[in-house]
Amino acid sequence: MTAINKVAVIGAGVMGAGIAAQVANAGVPVVLLDIVKEGDRNRNVIAETAVQKMLKADPAPFMSKAAAKLVTTGNTEDHLGLLGECDWIVEAVIERLDIKQALYRRIDEVRKPGSVVSSNTSTIPLASLTEGLSDAFAADFCITHFFNPPRYMRLLEVVSGPATRPEAAEAVSRFADVTLGKSVVVCKDRPGFIANRLGVFWMQCAVSEAMEQGMEVEEADAIIGKPMGIPKTGVFGLMDLVGLDLMPHVLGSMIGLLPKTDPLHAVHREMPLISRMIAEGFTGRKGKGGFYRLNREGGAKVKEAMSLSGGQYRKQIRPDLEILSTSRGDLRKLLASPDRAGRYAWRVLGQTLSYAASLVPEAAADVASVDEAMRLGYNWKWGPFELVDKLGVDWLVERLEADGLPVPALLREVGGKPFYRTEADRRQYLGTDGAYHDIVRPDGVLLLSDIKLTREPVLKNGSAALWDIGDGVACFEFTSKMNALDPDIMALLGKSLKVVGKQFKALVVYNEGSNFSAGANLGLALFAANIAAWTEIEQLVAAGQETYRALKYAPFPVVGAPSGLALGGGCEILLHCDAVVAHAETYTGLVECGVGLVPGWGGCKEMLARWSTLGKLPKGPMPAIARVFEIISTATVAKSAAEAKELLFLRPTDSITMNRYRLLADAKARALELARDYQPPEPVELTLPGETARVALEMAADGFHRRGIATRHDLVVSGALARVLSGNGADVTKPVSEGDVMEEERAQFMRLIRHPATLARIESILETGKPLRN
């Protein structure tokens, strides 16, 4: 198999530059080339400007500024020879066949034998791309369709041609999986492949049906979104996100490529409103607004939405659709409802599921590929065939027939059987041959969801569970809403530590939620404060401290395996683990100060210990204290696992896994490695300057207040943090124990939780998602 050690991307537009950035994020050198801009003295200006824009962009294509240093920029006239050093060459230029083929001929002259060349096209057939090119080029060529933005979207569609060497496609697929963190779905050489073929149909159907049935955009998005397991943006919010001006191009391409018999032609409508919005610059979030906008006229901020019937902006409304409440969790009930919401839901989802069934085996080999493509390409919670199983195949077929909608052969031939089942402890999908087939995970992939099909938890309560994941390793899973930490989690974690000590070699803290943990349950804290249950709050803080300390000094290794948000208490549990294997998209930080509190479960003392020993700072205790004060007081959150290392939320020795599906297996392997000759860490003693440090930190905070950066309550909170980090009266000549720092954490936490301004911030976060600036 071809080893991929260096990559080239040709085309420094949004997609090409983003692909190059993700390669660099993986620690792999990448060459980024584009054409020479006419009349510019800097012949590399297009590629160089793309990198500079990405360094300033939010959300950031780069996971760290250091990653950008792995990108070599150039142009296709002077630097095409650099391709001879590359193992994989990705073409991401304009969607014109003549331009692509001319470029391929030039690439073929300079590339090294056996290097793989791929196109990021989503519209031009592979057969057309390679027509007239050498047999050697065709053997090394495939399509690799990334989704935008390449860093954050996990799907990669790979298309091989009849001449493509299996080893070439396998090399790219393996690299994309393990190194770039993509889930690879193999597609057939059909227009739009899988995700966009179905996604464009779904969006077109949702928009046209909304207009025909007189729906408001807020109503349509509420119906299409959460009830169907689709992100809350729904369809109109999604169009604003990707850009209204992009849709006519994608749709036009699909209409031109698909035969007249394809159902997309039947749902296609000319939409004068959208054409007018594009012409006037209302192209979505990147323009002056889209179907939604924030009107800032007159200094106010008014949320508005486009009226589909009137074609004018108006104040946003909260959809009042009774069926969404009465059918909660019952999709069939929603689709069967005779009211306008039910009719709209059925017309959109019924046609979409019918179309999905028509794509197998025409565009995809099996239903599992279609479901994976929609889950990862469009962020659907359930793929279309998983939705069919929720409804029942027979029910769906009967309803489609009753409404005169197409019933593809796949739906007729299954004979009412579900598309998925669990048999002999394995999840299986129904193939086009009428037989069930195991869903086979790639080597190095271990999912807790698969383990749950075969085992009962070792321990369980309403907020957490302990699982046996094999080879003497246990897994502790948060299961509460947003995986927020509550007394039940702390109680079960305490019990689990005792069980693991007797029955297992090691423990992994991991879950497969969207977020590792959003932190402590603020709603519970506010409720307790409102009834003045101060003793109960202090007991919770003390229990968290004791549990995390027991975890740190357990007689077995504990490995944290976060993905997504790991905030507040979620960050603190990672700080107490022996090692962390973090998904690349881990966003972690101690955010308590933003809420009006200080970290109460040992986060302060762990960060002090790390910056005192691992931080590359001048000698003496003050530089480490000042850096930790800066990070915690500003509620700094690392925007990637790489950035978390820079902030020492992760140690230099902690590892990063690019593919979310590989996280548990990597964490388990690390736990077993540590278990071989494990010895618990020695207790840490800190040197803290006491009063001198406290005064210096408070003076720094006061300076921010004078400049209008910090509020009055920020000063109160930073003062409490200063007392914790300085040792609050500590003698610089005497070491301070971990227990002393944690005791001060608890005392300052309890002082702040009683403060009216802190309670106002918590209430604001729970109501609006944002803290009050008071």
H helix or E strand, kind and range, residue 466: strand 464-468
pLDDT 10s digits, 253-276: 899 999 999 999 999 988 999 999
H helix or E strand, kind and range, residue 543: helix 534-552
Q: Which of 141-145, 304-308, 686-690 has the least mean pLDDT?
A: 686-690
pLDDT of 286 > 90? The answer is no
Average confidence (pLDDT) over 335-353: 96
| Tokens encoding 449 | 């969801």
Closest by CA position to 558, among listed 512, 525, 510: 510
Within the chain, which residue ranges are assigned CATH 3.40.50.720? 7-187
pLDDT band at residue 1, thresholds of 50, 70 and 90? low
pTM, two decimals, is 0.94
Between CA 723 and CA 142 the distance in angstroms is 61
pLDDT band at residue 335, thresholds of 50, 70 and 90? very high
Between CA 53 and CA 355 the distance in angstroms is 39
pLDDT at residue number 504: 98
pLDDT band at residue 404, thresholds of 50, 70 and 90? very high
pLDDT at residue number 725: 95
| Tokens encoding 536 | 């109960």
pLDDT 10s digits, 596-606: 999 999 999 99
The owner of tokens 């966009």 is 196
**Which amino acid appears at position 756 of this protein?**
P
Closest by CA position to 483, among listed 560, 574, 559, 565: 565
Average confidence (pLDDT) over 426-436: 95
Q: Return the half-sphere exposure (C-beta side, CA atoms, 13 A cut-off) of residue 118.
A: 30
Q: What percent of the chain is predicted at pLDDT more than 70?
A: 99
pLDDT 10s digits, 467-518: 999 999 999 999 999 999 999 999 999 999 999 999 999 999 999 999 999 9
pLDDT at residue number 238: 93
Which of the four CATH numbers 1.10.1040.50, 3.40.50.720, 3.30.230.10, 3.90.1510.10 does domain 195-423 have? 1.10.1040.50
pLDDT of 248 > 90? The answer is no
pLDDT 10s digits, 44-70: 999 999 999 999 999 999 999 999 999
| Tokens encoding 573 | 């549990």
DSSP H helical ranges for 427-533: 448-452, 487-503, 522-530
pLDDT at residue number 323: 92
pLDDT band at residue 571, thresholds of 50, 70 and 90? very high
Question: What distances in angstroms separate CA 275 from CA 278, 282, 316, one per listed residue?
Answer: 5, 10, 22
Q: What letter does residue 661 receive in the DSSP assignment?
A: G
| Tokens encoding 570 | 């979620």
Q: Give me the DSSP letters along 223-263.
A: HHSGGGT--TTTTHHHHHHH-TTHHHHHHHHHHHHS-TTSH
pLDDT of 115 > 70? The answer is yes
Contact 64, 41 (CB under 8 A): no
pLDDT at residue number 730: 66
Q: Other C-beta atoms within 10 Å of 317: how many? A: 12
Q: Can you name the CATH fold of 7-187?
A: Rossmann fold (3.40.50)
Contact 745, 709 (CB under 8 A): no
pLDDT of 729 > 80? The answer is no
Q: What letter does residue 394 receive in the DSSP assignment?
A: H
Contact 47, 74 (CB under 8 A): yes
Between CA 728 and CA 730 the distance in angstroms is 6
pLDDT 10s digits, 224-241: 999 999 998 999 999 998
pLDDT band at residue 733, thresholds of 50, 70 and 90? low
Per-chain mean pLDDT for the chain: 95
pLDDT 10s digits, 507-554: 999 999 999 999 999 999 999 999 999 999 999 999 999 999 999 999
Between CA 475 and CA 469 the distance in angstroms is 6
The owner of tokens 């980024």 is 32
Between CA 403 and CA 397 the distance in angstroms is 10
| Tokens encoding 557 | 């290794």
∠ CA(210), CA(213), CA(218), 5° rounding? 45
Closest by CA position to 245, among listed 282, 271, 207, 220: 282
Closest by CA position to 143, among listed 164, 173, 119, 176: 119
Contact 495, 720 (CB under 8 A): no
Residue 40 CA, chain-centre distance (Å), reads 38
Between CA 544 and CA 29 the distance in angstroms is 43
Q: In the CATH scheme, what is the homologous superfamily, with its name and number, of domain 448-528+542-588+652-666?
A: 2-enoyl-CoA Hydratase; Chain A, domain 1 (3.90.226.10)
Average confidence (pLDDT) over 369-389: 97
Q: Specify which residues 7 forms β-bridges with.
A: 30, 88
Between CA 651 and CA 563 the distance in angstroms is 16
| Tokens encoding 117 | 């060349």
